[in-house]
Structure 1
């Protein structure tokens, strides 16, 4: 096998016009299944929906405190 034969084999593989982009297809299918797996269960099950939104609300409150408490502490130290 010479160098010319390897070049023609690589060119033939790269120029296939009807290749399906399997990565994109499986990524889209995974997103759809994951999205409806979570959102569908929240739509169907009322208890899970309440627990989920209560959890999100608690996380939001904790993040707010984690951001505002150090800022207020720094403001107090700068004042005096």
Structure 2
């Protein structure tokens, strides 16, 4: 029978009452292929379920993608008409 000889200490514990600096809002992450040089991200609304990588997006979800990827999604019928 193996025994664990590691001792747990509170040296690495985080103080829950400490003040946290105000968090800044980040720009939404680009889903799918990365942006090309000088491109601005585009927000699209999906009309169908889409799985990109390990993430599932339901119809009506708004995602931020590169302009090239937005054109591909539109051509394949994945984006909603606006």
Fold match (TM-score > 0.5)? no
Higher share in strand: 2
Higher share in helix: 1
Higher radius of gyration, 1 or 2: 1
Q: Structure 1 length normalisation: TM-score?
A: 0.30
